[in-house]
Structure 1
């Protein structure tokens, strides 16, 4: 079944941004859950995927935008408040958009947007929740800057009273664990991640700049956040 993608990426994409999403090929995506959410989360990042799903369930609404959609695991397993949510998928990589759309095909009201999250999204719709799971650590730049940029862009799509939430791997948290730090260094060299200078204080500074209310806590190497304007 073919799915239409609303694409707006006319500007050139820098190499670091391109590298952060290049690994999400059609051959890799079916293995993502096992490799990333099972092995890496449990053995390296010390953050069970069940904790991530709890965070998702606590914030997701029936008008939801998901940016940096990965394999769609959380959209597939989370508990939406109602039976027929409206879901928007936002990603630079068309492979992930199509993979996730097919995975959540039981939901009829799904829109696909191919966008660079570091640029204005130019999406007319508004949403009550916006998810950013494991997105920020794939983006180039300092966490204090790139997080504010992303927050500013997605807030344009947020209804009054809505929530932005997500999770990200922080290098300073990984410093406590030898194998986690080693793995992150490998990911830096491959370009799959760009979080060498991402720290918990830096993320909190970005949340303070972007939201009137926010929450932030950590599990292992993972930081969980949410913010309201």
Structure 2
């Protein structure tokens, strides 16, 4: 298993919310979870079916249980079975009553046919910066894979920590975490830049919006290109 997926052991998952969502998001990446990322996650949730990719502890979907009340299906996709079971259980405990599907899958590989055209919304929060390779390489592959999962009026959206480029200025804590995580293979974002992300999205979608909060890019993409 890739180091970026292997790090999410059941023990580490217990620490994830504190270390990443409370401390790192506020102090290192300067993109607060409660005031920025959670509202952004809620903003584009679909009403029929939602696909969450790279599920972590299931924090965002669990925090969205009320917003997902009318959503018939939530599908969780990840390379790590521990994160899938954790996120699924957490969403159910938060009160979600629809169906929950768990898909153990590598996002670089084509999706199963039964997922094509199924979802109103696809979220990928803090996935891209964990994947190996440059944004120029991994971005188009991931967006091509996930774009086919959308309904014609659907939206793909998410957040990723950038490594460099105009507007990306890491503070002392961020630089040290970036160096450590990239060295261990937990992150693969040392060369990820905003323009490369935007270009990768525009290569696959007709309508793209990207903004920077701290060193985190928040993106939305609609109308997948065909061919």
**Residue 43 (str. 1) matches residue 24 (str. 2):** no
Alignment map for 1:157-196 (pairs within 5 Å): 157-172=149-164, 174-196=168-190
1:174, distance to aligned residue in structure 2 (A): 5.0
| Equivalent in the alignment of 1:64 | 50
Q: Distance in 2 between matches of 1:119 and 1:23?
A: 21
Structure 1, gaps ≥5 residues long: 1-12
For normalisation by structure 1, the TM-score amounts to: 0.89
Alignment map for 1:97-112 (pairs within 5 Å): 97-105=84-92, 106-107=95-96, 108-112=98-102
Structure 2, gaps ≥5 residues long: none
**Residue 31 (str. 1) matches residue 18 (str. 2):** no
8 Å CA contact 2:29, 2:170 repeated in 1: no
**Residue 222 (str. 1) matches residue 209 (str. 2):** no
1:132-162 deviations in Å (ceiling 9; x for gaps): 0000000011112211111100111111110
The count of corresponding residues between Structure 1 and Structure 2 is: 213
- Partner of residue 147 from structure 2, selected from 152, 155, 158: 155
8 Å CA contact 1:61, 1:80 repeated in 2: no
Is the alpha carbon distance of 1:175 and 1:143 closer, same or farther for their aligned partners in structure 2, counting shifts above 3 Å? same
8 Å CA contact 2:46, 2:71 repeated in 1: no
Q: Distance in 1 between matches of 2:67 and 2:151?
A: 17
For normalisation by structure 2, the TM-score amounts to: 0.90
Is the alpha carbon distance of 1:123 and 1:67 closer, same or farther for their aligned partners in structure 2, counting shifts above 3 Å? farther
1:156-215 deviations in Å (ceiling 9; x for gaps): 111111000000000115544232122101100111100011001111111111110011
Select between 73-82 and 133-142 the one with higher mean Cα deviation.
73-82
Is the alpha carbon distance of 1:165 and 1:84 closer, same or farther for their aligned partners in structure 2, counting shifts above 3 Å? closer
**Cα RMSD for the two superposed structures:** 1.4
| Equivalent in the alignment of 1:9 | none
Is the alpha carbon distance of 1:95 and 1:176 closer, same or farther for their aligned partners in structure 2, counting shifts above 3 Å? closer
8 Å CA contact 1:174, 1:181 repeated in 2: no
**Residue 93 (str. 1) matches residue 77 (str. 2):** no
